[in-house]
Structure 1
Amino acid sequence: MQQTDQVFQEMVNRAQSWEKVGDRRYIFLRCYSMMSANMPVAIQEGRFAHPSWVATLMLRFADYYFDALAQYDQNPAHAPAVWRQAHDAAKAQGTHVMQNLLLGVNAHINYDLPLALYDCLRSDWAGLDETQKRLRQNDHETVNQIIGDTIDAVQDTVVEPLSPAMALVDRLMGRMDEWLLSQLITAWRHDVWNVALQLLAASDESQRHQIKKEQESRVLERGERLCDP
């Protein structure tokens, strides 16, 4: 778990440094770090059928985030368009905390995750039987529960300090608003599993590239809707 701990600490350090200077990119990264912190605990509790695969996926998933961030910081034009959209919005004036959060979630789950899943499944997917494939999918879906368990803390510690009105929503709706966000993320993660399966089934790199471009377009379109006031 040492490498996982290092990645988590990098998330925490980066989010803290951004928060100190008012860089609203910390909003998504705080959320991401809180959810990531719960993953090693779940692994140690035996919640996954293939814990080593989950740990590898977690690290590969984080690689996509930090690689895109490095590209954006060096030259925004070189970053993936979905991350350019999210980071640009975080730097813009007047965006709501939930827009900043959901744009990051949109880019990371809907764009990065199917690529990370493909990377971590492609070497052995063809050799797995249907039961083994289902266990991989079950592990993917178990993460949904971990995310759901984290959302209430994210709202309390990240969202509400920036948007006191959300505290009123929380009091009026109880856990309903957290449930709605959890259901949204679960639906997105269900969709990207299917995108990963499409990538695995692609006959050649050209077809995989087309699948990636189509997914990128869907993610950008969703991001544009999230950016609307």
Structure 2
Amino acid sequence: MAQIEEFAARPGPLRLSVGSVVARMRALHSGWPAADGVAVFNRVYLAVTEELDRRIDRGDFPDRRAAGTLAVLFAERYLTAVDTVAGGARPPACWRPLFQHRRHPGVRPLQFALAGINAHIGHDLALAVVDTCRTLGCEPPAMEREFDRVGDILTMLEERIREDLMPGPDLLEIADPLTHLLGSWSLERARDGAWSAARLLWRLQEFPELADEFTERLDTGVGLVGRCLLTPWP
């Protein structure tokens, strides 16, 4: 019932701006050890959110309000998961593998980053689109252009992972399973899935029990993928 109420509740005024989201991520970055698995994801996501903030400020988005609202509500779902864990409670199932394995010595930074991206895009992005539509009083088709532009910036996540977290050529043989792992998960497919899920959730608002069931299954399924991504390597 709690999930139904959360899904059905219309969001109130935004608590944060994109700039304040960035500031919050920077504070988390400075407070966590660099090797912490959540810190690895936070570092990558921070860089992308900073770039998104710059592009919104310089007018790269036709509808700056829509883009900023989506960016904030999207980030707030990650930050809420962080706060939930800090408060001693369990986060959504999609985030649990990352928080549970964040200090596992057999998990590589690449895996931590992928698990965070999987949780955030595979689950949070669809719900953030719905949140944004409720906040702005529009339907998902009106958000598609901003969704695509934000998604193009999110592709920087994969680029940054390849640049910062993939081992060098001298470790290629050892890293071969990680190379396979990176190739087995697609950010583009996750984005497409998030858009489809958002459209379906919007239509299910008239059927709260179905909406609740779909949201729970989405959360659980994304969490299962996260556990696979975090399989420890010897």
TM-score in same-fold range (> 0.5): yes
Q: Is the contact between residue 66 and residue 146 of structure 2 (CA under 8 Å) also seen in structure 1?
A: no
Q: Is the contact between residue 82 and residue 219 of structure 1 (CA under 8 Å) also seen in structure 2?
A: yes
Give the distance between the partners of 1:90 and 1:119, measured in 2 at CA: 29
Whether 1:112 aligns to 2:124 is yes
User: Unaligned 5+ residue runs, structure 1?
Assistant: 127-132, 170-176
Structure 2 counterparts to residues 26-175 of structure 1, below 5 A: 26-76=39-89, 78-122=90-134, 124-126=137-139, 134-149=141-156, 151-157=158-164, 159-160=165-166, 164-165=167-168
Give the distance between the partners of 1:12 and 1:151, measured in 2 at CA: 20
Q: CA deviation at 1:149?
A: 4.2
Give the distance between the partners of 2:222 and 2:157, measured in 1 at CA: 24
**Greater percentage in helix:** 1
Tell me the alpha carbon deviations over residues 114-146 of structure 1, each in whole angstroms, 9 at most, x when there is no partner. Answer: 1111111135235xxxxxx54521211112322
Q: CA deviation at 1:43?
A: 1.6
Q: How many residues align?
A: 206
Give the distance between the partners of 1:134 and 1:90, measured in 2 at CA: 37
* 149 and 103 in structure 1: CA distance in 2 versus 1, 3 angstrom threshold: closer
Tell me the alpha carbon deviations over residues 82-123 of structure 1, each in whole angstroms, 9 at most, x when there is no partner. Answer: 212111121222101111001111111111111111111135
Whether 1:18 aligns to 2:20 is no
* 14 and 79 in structure 1: CA distance in 2 versus 1, 3 angstrom threshold: same
Read off the aligned partner of 1:43 and give its amino acid letter.
I
- Report the RMSD for the aligned CA atoms in angstroms: 2.5
Give the distance between the partners of 1:71 and 1:52, measured in 2 at CA: 28
Tell me the alpha carbon deviations over residues 169-215 of structure 1, each in whole angstroms, 9 at most, x when there is no partner. Answer: 6xxxxxxx8xx77x921210111111011110012221210110121
TM-score scaled to structure 2, two decimals?
0.78
Identity across the alignment (%): 23
TM-score scaled to structure 1, two decimals?
0.79
Give the distance between the partners of 1:151 and 1:191, measured in 2 at CA: 17
